[in-house]
Amino acid sequence: MAHAKAVLVLENFIAGKFVPCSSYIDSYNPSTGDIYCRVPDSGKEEVEAAVKAAKNAFPIWSSKSPLERSQILNKLADLIEHDLEEFAQAESKDQGKTITFARTVDIPRAVYNFRFFASSILHHTTECTEMATMGCVHYTSRTPVGVAGLISPWNLPLYLLTWKIAPAIACGNTVVAKPSEMTSVTAWMMCKLLEKAGVPHGVVNVVFGMGTKAGEALVCHPDVPLISFTGSTLTAQRIMEKSAPHCKRLSLELGGKNPAIIFDDADLAQCIPTTLRSSFANQGEICLCTSRIFVQRGIYSDFLKRFVAEAKKWKVGNPSDPTVDIGALISKEHLEKVRSYVKKAQAEGARVLCGEGVDPLALPAGNRKGYFMLPTVITEVKDESCCMQEEIFGPVTCIVAFDTEEEVIERANSVKYGLAATVWSSNVGRVHRVAKRLQSGLVWTNCWLVRDLNLPFGGMKASGVGREGAKDSYEFFTEVKTITIKH
C-alpha cells in the first residue's frame, strides 16, 4: 500500500557525512500513532566506524585552543537558534510534547547549553602549590581524555543531548553520540549544521539505534574511555557491568521519585501552580518531576481541593495547539505502563481524584490514536505502595498528609532514589534545616526547575553517579595531571 506521504528517513552521521544503514526502525508520532520517521538500526559496525572517525579527529581538535573551540560552539548555538521554530516543531512531533514546551524550554536550552560551555571553558584555572622547604613547585594540568560515548534519553531529546555534547567537545574531546531511537530527529537536524558551524569532520558523530545494540556496542568499545548516560537506573546497571572490564569513567544521571513537601505556612497562591507544573510539565516525563506530594495536615484538605480543581483545567490534546498544556506520552507501551500504576493504586485501595479512569478524555479526531492521558491525582496511598516507591514518569502524582517535620523528612527519604526535592515554607530556618537533611542532589525551595548551570546537577543513591555542571563536567571530560618541578 502506498504511503499517503513520504516518511522521513534518518541516516547516521559519521566523519562529517550522512551514511545510510542496512536496516531501520520505525519511529512514531505519539500524538497520532502514525509512523513519523525511520531510524537507522545501528550495531557494532556503525559504532566501529564512528569511533574510528572520532579517534582520527581527536589530535587536531584537542590541540585547538579553548578560544577556537568556544567560537565554534557559539556559531553552532547561533545556527540552532536561527532554526528554532523548525527544531521545536520536529521535537514536538517526534516526542509528543507540546509545541509551547519545545519552543520555550527544549530548544532554547539546547542553544544555551552550547553558549554556556563556550563561555565556561574560557574561565577554568588550574591549581599550584609551593613547597619552599623542598624547593618544589606543584601545579596541575588538564587535558582532554579522548572519545566520549554519549547516550541520551527520549524525554528532552536535544536539550539533554547538547548538555553532553557541549562540555565534551568544549574540553577538546571528540564524541560518538547515541540519542534515543524514539526521538532522533532533532539530533539528525543538528548534524546538518555542524559543518557550517566549523566543527571539523569526526569531532561529532551520531549513531542512531537501540540501546541493546548500538548503545551496548558503544559502551563495550575499548577505545571509548568515557561514557555519559542519562536514562533509567536499570540501563545504568547494565552500563556499569559492561564497562567494568575497561575501567571506564562513568557519569550516570538516572531516575527520581521526587518529593514535594508543603508546610502549613506555604504560600499556596504560588505553591499550587508551581506544583502542578512540577507534577505534570512535559507530561510528567522529566526526571525532576514531583510524584510524591506531602502536605501538612492543617492545609491538606484545602490544598487537595484546590490542586485537583486546577489539575482538571489542564488541557490535554494536539501538541501543536498552543493552548494545550499536556501533549502525548512517548509510546503506546509507556502509556500502558503509566496506566497500570493507576490501576495498581486503585487495587490497593487508593483513591483517584481526577484524570485516568475518572474523567472523560476528549481528543480531536486526528489524535484519537495518540498516546494521551489526563493529569491524574492519587490520594489515600501508602508509602510502601509501588506508586510511592517507583518512578512512573507520566502525568501522575500522589498526595498524602503529614504531621511533623521530623516525620516528613524520614518519609521523603524512604525511597531508593535521591535526585530532587521541593520544599514549600515561609520559615527560613525550617527551609535550611529540611534542605540539609533531604537525601537529594537538588533541593528547590518555594520554586521548581530554576537552574544555574554553573552548579552541580545530579542525584544521590539510585539516582546516579557523578555530577554535571560547569566545574563538574569540566572535571569529568578532562584528565588531570599533577606536575612537580624541583628548582
Is residue 28 assigned to a domain?
Answer: yes
Q: How far apart, in Å, are the Cα atoms of 131 and each of 136, 185, 482?
A: 5, 55, 14
Helix (H, G, I), strand (E, B) or coil at 483: strand
Set of cell numbers at residue 282: 512535559
**Cell representation of residue 158:** 536535544
95-128 pLDDT per residue, tens: 999 999 999 999 999 999 999 999 999 999 999 9
pLDDT at 276 over 70: yes
**Which positions are catalytic?**
253
Mean pLDDT for 462-479 is: 97
Phi-psi map region of 283: left, alpha, beta (phi>0 left; psi -120 to 50 alpha): left
Do 269 and 216 lie in a common domain? no
Q: What is the pLDDT of residues 387-437, one digit of tens each?
A: 999 999 999 999 999 999 999 999 999 999 999 999 999 999 999 999 999
Distance CA 128, CA 480 (A): 13
Mean pLDDT across the stretch 225-247? 97
Q: Mind listing the pLDDT tens digit for each residue in 298-335?
A: 999 999 999 999 999 999 999 999 999 999 999 999 99
One domain, residues 204 and 174: yes
Q: What is the CATH number of the domain that holds 267?
A: 3.40.309.10
> In which element (H, E) is residue 307 found?
helix 297-311
pLDDT at residue 1 greater than cutoff 50: no
pLDDT at residue 15 is higher than 80:
yes
- What's the alpha-carbon Rg for the chain, to the nearest Å? 23
Q: Is the pLDDT of residue 343 over 60?
A: yes
CATH number of the domain to which 248 belongs:
3.40.605.10
- Specify whether 49 is located in the same domain as 148: yes
Same domain flag for 351 and 204: no
Position 393 scores a pLDDT of 98
Cα–Cα distance between 98 and 329 in angstroms, integer? 11
Same domain, 115 and 159: yes
Q: How confident is the model at residue 2 (pLDDT cuts 50, 70, 90)?
A: very low
The answer to whether 217 and 43 are in contact (CB under 8 A) is yes
Asked, for residue 113, whether it belongs to a domain, the answer is yes
Report the alpha-carbon distance of residue 74 to residue 342 in Å, rounded.
45
Q: In the chain, pLDDT over 70 holds for what percent of residues? A: 99
Give the integer Cα–Cα distance in Å for 96 and 34. Answer: 12
Q: Which residues contact 92 (CB under 8 A, 6 or more apart)?
A: 98, 99, 101, 102, 319, 320, 327
Question: Would you say residue 456 lies in a domain?
Answer: no
Question: Is 392 among the domain residues?
Answer: yes
Summarize pLDDT for 188-214 with one digit per residue, the tens. 999 999 999 999 999 999 999 999 999
d(CA 332, CA 338): 10
Q: Output the DSSP codes for 8-45.
A: EE--EEETTEEE--S-EEEEEETTTTEEEEEEE---HH
What's the Cα-to-Cα distance from 365 to each of 79, 96, 147, rounded to whole Å?
36, 16, 47
Distance, CA of 197 to chain centre: 25
CA-wise closest residue to 124 among 477, 473, 474: 474
Q: Is residue 208 located within the same domain as residue 293?
A: no
pLDDT of 3 strictly over 80:
no
Alpha-helix runs per DSSP H in 83-215: 84-95, 99-101, 107-120, 157-170, 185-197
Q: Is the confidence at residue 12, as pLDDT, over 90?
A: yes
- Give the model's pLDDT for residue 6: 81
Average pLDDT, the chain: 97
For residue 5, pLDDT over 70 is answered with no
What domain count does the chain have? Answer: 2
> Based on the domain organization, do 243 and 264 belong to the same domain?
no
- Let me know if residue 455 belongs to a domain: no
Query: Nearest CA to 394 among 257, 211, 293, 210?
Result: 257
Same domain assignment for residues 227 and 286: no
What is the DSSP track for 430-472?
HHHHHHHHS--SEEEESSSS---TTS-B--EETTEES-BSHHH
Domain range enclosing 142:
8-254+463-486
Same domain, 205 and 312: no
Closest CA to 87 of 183, 21, 23, 15: 183
